[in-house]
C-alpha cells in the first residue's frame, strides 16, 4: 500500500502491574510519534474487544495513524479500523483478504524465509517477520531468526517487512540496517518508565 509508514509500529498490551491499559499505551505511543498502532488482546471477549477497538480507532484517526486490529477481522471491519493483522494460525489469508474491503490494510506473519515467500503471494500489504531476537512478550514464539535471516528476507521479498521480537532502542539500528520497513515493539514501550519518551527515542533512531 503506497504511503504506508510502518517504521514505529507499536503493539498495545495491558501491563496491569504498571497500571497500564491498551488505551494508555496507545495514547503514549501516538504522542511519542508512532506511525502505526496494532491492537492485540487474546483474552478479551468480543464485546470488550469491540468497545476498546472503537476507542482506539478514534484515537488513531485523530492522529492520522493507522490502527491495525489483530486477528478479529469482523470486529476490525465493524469499527472502521484501517487494517487487520493475521497470524500464521488465525485463518486462511486468501479468504480473509477476499472478505475485507479493498482499502483495508492486511498484514500477515512469517517466521522464516520460506513462509515469507508463501505469504508474499496472499495479497498482503506487509509481512511481520520474527522473532528476530529472544522475546518474552509471546509465550509460544518461534526461535529467534536473527538479523542475517531478516536481511535475507528483506532482500528477497517484494513486500514491506516489519520485524518483530525483542526489538528495543539498543538493537533497532541492526534491524534498520537489515532492510526492514518497520519494527514492531511491545515491551520496549509498555514496560518503559516513560512510554512517550521510549517511542520518541525509537522514532529518532529511524531518522
CATH code: domain of residue 162: 3.20.20.70
Q: What are the pLDDT digits (tens) for 57-81?
A: 999 999 999 999 999 999 999 999 9
- Give a yes or no: residue 191 inside a domain: yes
Q: What are the pLDDT digits (tens) for 113-154?
A: 999 999 999 999 999 999 999 987 666 668 899 999 999 999
- Give a yes or no: residue 2 inside a domain: no
- Give a yes or no: residue 1 inside a domain: no
Q: Is the peptide bond before 131 cis (omega within 30 degrees of 0)?
A: yes
**The pLDDT of residue 16:** 84
- Give a yes or no: residue 101 inside a domain: yes
Query: Percent of the chain beyond pLDDT 90?
Result: 87
How big is the CA angle at 33 (ends 28 and 35), to the nearest 5 degrees? 110
Q: Which helix (H) or strand (E) holds 62?
A: helix 46-62
Cβ atoms of 82 and 60 closer than 8 Å: yes
Over 50: is that where the pLDDT of 1 sits? no
**The pLDDT of residue 139:** 62
Is 159 designated active site?
no
**E-assigned strand segments in 91-137:** 105-110, 126-129
Q: Is the peptide bond before 55 cis (omega within 30 degrees of 0)?
A: no
Is 138 designated active site?
yes
Catalytic residue among 20, 72, 109, 120: 109
**The pLDDT of residue 129:** 98
- Give a yes or no: residue 181 inside a domain: yes
Catalytic residue among 7, 20, 40, 72: 40
Cβ atoms of 175 and 206 closer than 8 Å: no
Is 136 designated active site?
no
The CA-atom distances, in angstroms, between 96 and each of 53, 86, 90, 99, 115 are 19, 9, 10, 5, 18
Q: What are the pLDDT digits (tens) for 173-183?
A: 999 999 999 99
Catalytic residue among 31, 61, 88, 138: 138
Query: How many domains would you assign to the chain?
Result: 1
User: Domain range for residue 167?
Assistant: 8-206
**The pLDDT of residue 2:** 56
- Give a yes or no: residue 17 inside a domain: yes
- Give a yes or no: residue 43 inside a domain: yes
Q: How confident is the model at residue 3 (pLDDT cuts 50, 70, 90)?
A: confident
**Closest to 114 (Cα-Cα) out of 147, 89, 88:** 88
- Give a yes or no: residue 180 inside a domain: yes
Q: 3-state class of 42 per DSSP?
A: coil
Task: Give CA–CA dist 73/79, Å, rounded.
Answer: 10
Amino acid at each position: 500500500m503506497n504511503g504506508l509508514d510502518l517504521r514505529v509500529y507499536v503493539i498495545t498490551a495491558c501491563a496491569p502491574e504498571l497500571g497500564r491499559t491498551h488505551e494508555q499505551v496507545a495514547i503514549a505511543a501516538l504522542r511519542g510519534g508512532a506511525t502505526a498502532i496494532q491492537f492485540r488482546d487474546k483474552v478479551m471477549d468480543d464485546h470488550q474487544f469491540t468497545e476498546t477497538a472503537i476507542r482506539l480507532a478514534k484515537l488513531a484517526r485523530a492522529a492520522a495513524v493507522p490502527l491495525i486490529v489483530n486477528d478479529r477481522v469482523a470486529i476490525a471491519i465493524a469499527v472502521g479500523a484501517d487494517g487487520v493483522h493475521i497470524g500464521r494460525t488465525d485463518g486462511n489469508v486468501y479468504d480473509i483478504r477476499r472478505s475485507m474491503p479493498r482499502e483495508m490494510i492486511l498484514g500477515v506473519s512469517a517466521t522464516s524465509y520460506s513462509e515469507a515467500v508463501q505469504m508474499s503471494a496472499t495479497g498482503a500489504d506487509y509481512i511481520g517477520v520474527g522473532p528476530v531476537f529472544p522475546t518474552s512478550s509471546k509465550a509460544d514464539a518461534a526461535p529467534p531468526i536473527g538479523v542475517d535471516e531478516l536481511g535475507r528476507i528483506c532482500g528477497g521479498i517484494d513486500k514491506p517487512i516489519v520485524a518483530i521480537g525483542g526489538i528495543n532502542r539498543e538493537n533497532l539500528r541492526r534491524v534498520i540496517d537489515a532492510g526492514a520497513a518497520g519494527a514492531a515493539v511491545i515491551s520496549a514501550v509498555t514496560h518503559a518508565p516513560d512510554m512517550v519518551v521510549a517511542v520518541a527515542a525509537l522514532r529518532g533512531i529511524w531518522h
